[in-house]
Amino acid sequence: MTNGLNVSHGLNQAQAEAVDTLSGPMLVLAGAGTGKTRVVTFRIANLIRNGTPPDRILAMTFTNKAAGEMQERIGELIGSKKKRNPKRGEAAEPKPTISTFHSLCVRILRQHAPTLGFPKKFSIYDRSDQESLARGILRELRLPGTALKPGDMLAIIGGWKNQSVLPDEAAMSASTDKEHFAASGYRRYQDALRARAAMDFDDLLLHTETLFREHHDVRDAVASLYDHVLVDEYQDTNGSQYRITRDLTFKHRNFCVVGDDDQSIYAWRGADVTHILSFTQDWPDAKVVCLEDNYRSTGAILSMANTLIQYNTERHDKVLIPSRPDGMRPRILQHKDETVEAKLVVSEITELINKKHIQPRDIAILFRTNEQPRLFETELRKANVPYVMMGSQSFFDRREIRDLLAFLKWIDQPDDEISLLRIINTPARGLSNKTVQLLVKRAVERGVPVWQVMQNNAAIADLSPSARRGIAELESLAHDVRERAEHDSLTDAIRTMLERTAYADEIARLYDQPEERDARMASIGDLTNAIGAYQDNSSDPSLTGFLSDIALSGREMGNEKDKMAAKNSVWLLTLHAAKGLEFPYVYMVGMEEGILPHSRSLKSGRDEDIAEERRLCYVGITRAQENLTLSMALTRRKWGKPRPTTPSPFLYEITGKADNPARNRKARKRRLA
């Protein structure tokens, strides 16, 4: 520590090394709980202390939550002033850019989309938009539903996109039947997106990559904005992200990546762990720092994690070294069925909170799939224990939210046909299914968006008067809402929309129970509040901006009440959502074959799929600081019927039960290796 300016005190030697080297490529291989986040934030702070202008630093994360937290920690470290009523026109204090890949790409594309033949107001299609589109295409191709399901097609297309395989090349990379079908759908899918002025999540990356590849002036302009680029969770980068970061760093070479190959749990969405494993081949002069001292978990928890992960063969061989005492041995509990599992876990939690005065926020329940938490929610509610469910999509799955967002998306971008078709007759306005089909047919014939046909008086002259009235109604509605959004405010716009559609009446019509009505109206209120909050926090609010924000970070949105409660609540998280977090008390539930590892991974039979499930289990275990409980149910209901279960093979691996065939098989393999 030669530099008087450094802020690295309180770090161990390896951490300090990672923080003190300020330039050139660097790889930080950081195991779970070794202070990875601390290293990244300290490093950024140190760059700033040593004279790098903050706004010349770009740090990339994979979730908005991670970006937000990093922003906060850096603010604390460099002592950025609290923004109290910044005067209009006063230059904002320069800050490092901390962004997810997707947000960064959206920002770039909002500016350069016309170069690629897209309008600046392109829609972002989420999973369900994609599925509607894919369903339509499969229907057009007349592939029977059994041959290729929309989800399958999207997964295959997504894989190609991540590897930058374009529609024309896809047929050549196809080997299975499904892939061949998907290849024929791929071209149509991309054309359909373009016709709807829409991009899916993969496109945000793919189009940015294309933009950089084909327009070096744009690439260089973006790259020259930054002198330092850092990527957290580098093991999660997919092909597009890899190439985008390469384009942003090849000139200045100040590229620092941080990650852990044992925590790579996103291969299914294109993440390629070889990016981190071969970093030193890409950057031969890279400095490599390994962090192996674990400050998070007790020795007993860590030894369990170490034992488990050693069953994976393809990995950097490293062992986490505990810096804490052994602590309590993790427990493995078997329950009669999933209801008992939920009841007992919750009653234990209640006891922890009431008798041992543990804070709810120090307890987490982790699970593999999103259907598992339901029972736990019910029990927690019964026991009056505050809880938050992170990453729950439920808010955006609500019909009323989907409808209102579809309205907004269509009003913002009239070519967005998926959104238009969702709300074209919601609430009913005289446009029957048959009429809609006719309109779509005419649009296809003319090769123009449906909305253009609907606005063409000649094209709709033969429609029933009620249908024409419906179209006129939509038109004036869109006009008024757009006016409001542009000239008044976004909250005015959504209020106008709710009034003009009489959406409250629709809710009253659909739901006859007053509680349900209230709940639905409340979630509409939440959406209105979210728009208000966006408007207050954004320097240049727009409908387009709001919709982008929602698409990219929607699932983190909740109402204010939830946010208050979240400050001290029990956490309910999927294993994926739990990455990067830590809790004194962790319950990993549903430790059964078919759940973890998931049946789809078992079915594929590929070793690397099981290895990823094992890493997922490893991530779960290493979230626990002091107390870990693994539990399973002996029977579990599936599709209504109770079914006997089998313990997760990982339970045997963890405990070292030699008589387990799974372990013997693995052990034999290792001996041979």
Residue 100 in the binding site for DNA (CB under 7 A): yes
- Least distance from C-beta 508 to DNA, angstroms? 11
Residue 364 in the binding site for DNA (CB under 7 A): no
Contact code string over 612-651 relative to DNA, x by CB under 7 A: --------------------------xxx-----------
Residue 208 in the binding site for DNA (CB under 7 A): no
**Could you list the active site residues?**
36-37, 232-233, 263, 623
Q: Please identify which residue in 163, 464, 559, 660 interacts with DNA, judged by CB under 7 A.
A: 464
Contact code string over 596-615 relative to DNA, x by CB under 7 A: --x-xx-------x------
> Residue 291's beta-bridge partner residues?
30
Query: Could you give the CA distance from residue 497 to residue 404 in angstroms, rounded to a whole number?
Result: 9
Near DNA in 475-494, by CB under 7 A: none
Q: Please identify which residue in 95, 149, 180, 253 interacts with DNA, judged by CB under 7 A.
A: 149
Q: Which residues of 144-154 are buried (b: 16+ CB within 10 A; e: fewer)?
A: eeeebbbebbb
Instruction: Give the count of residues interacting with DNA (CB under 7 A).
Output: 50
Binding segment (CB under 7 A) for DNA, from list 8-16, 35-43, 49-57, 138-146: 138-146
- By the 10 Å C-beta count (0-12 exposed, 13-18 middle, 19+ buried), 386 is classed as middle
- Least distance from C-beta 554 to DNA, angstroms? 8
Q: Judged by CB, which is closer to DNA: 598, or 666?
A: 598
Residue 243 in the binding site for DNA (CB under 7 A): no
Near DNA in 432-451, by CB under 7 A: 432, 434-435
- Least distance from C-beta 150 to DNA, angstroms? 9
Is 578 flagged in the annotation as binding? no
- Least distance from C-beta 430 to DNA, angstroms? 5
Residue 64 in the binding site for DNA (CB under 7 A): yes
Is 525 flagged in the annotation as binding? no
Whether the CB-CB separation of 52 and 328 falls below 8 Å is answered with: no
**Count of residues for the chain?**
673
Residue 374 in the binding site for DNA (CB under 7 A): no
- By the 10 Å C-beta count (0-12 exposed, 13-18 middle, 19+ buried), 655 is classed as middle
> Sign of dihedral through CA atoms 526, 530, 536, 542?
negative
Near DNA in 344-363, by CB under 7 A: none
Nearest of 413, 393, 402 to residue 542 by alpha carbon? 413
Query: Which position has the token pair 């192996």?
Result: 292
Residue 548 in the binding site for DNA (CB under 7 A): no
Q: Please identify which residue in 6, 44, 59, 62 interacts with DNA, judged by CB under 7 A.
A: 62
Q: Judged by CB, which is closer to DNA: 110, or 324?
A: 110
Measure Cα distances from 567 to 130, 361, 387, 624 in Å: 35, 7, 10, 19
> Residue 366's beta-bridge partner residues?
573, 588
User: For 27, which DSSP code?
Assistant: E
- For residue 49 the two structure tokens come to 């202390």
Residue 429 in the binding site for DNA (CB under 7 A): yes
Is 270 flagged in the annotation as binding? no
Interhelix angle for 514-537 vs 490-501, to 10°? Answer: 150
Query: Could you give the CA distance from residue 234 to residue 256 in angstroms, rounded to a whole number?
Result: 10
Whether the CB-CB separation of 496 and 480 falls below 8 Å is answered with: yes
Contacts of residue 115, Cβ cutoff 8 Å, sequence gap at least 6: 211, 215, 218
Q: Which residues of 50-85 are buried (b: 16+ CB within 10 A; e: fewer)?
A: eebebebbbbbbbbbbbbebbbebbbebbeeeeeee
Residue 138 in the binding site for DNA (CB under 7 A): no
Q: Residues in the site for DNA, rule: CB under 7 A?
A: 62-64, 100-102, 126-127, 132, 135, 139, 145-146, 149, 151, 201, 265, 268-269, 368-371, 391, 393, 399, 425, 428-432, 434-435, 464, 466-467, 509, 552, 555, 574, 576-577, 598, 600-601, 609, 638-640
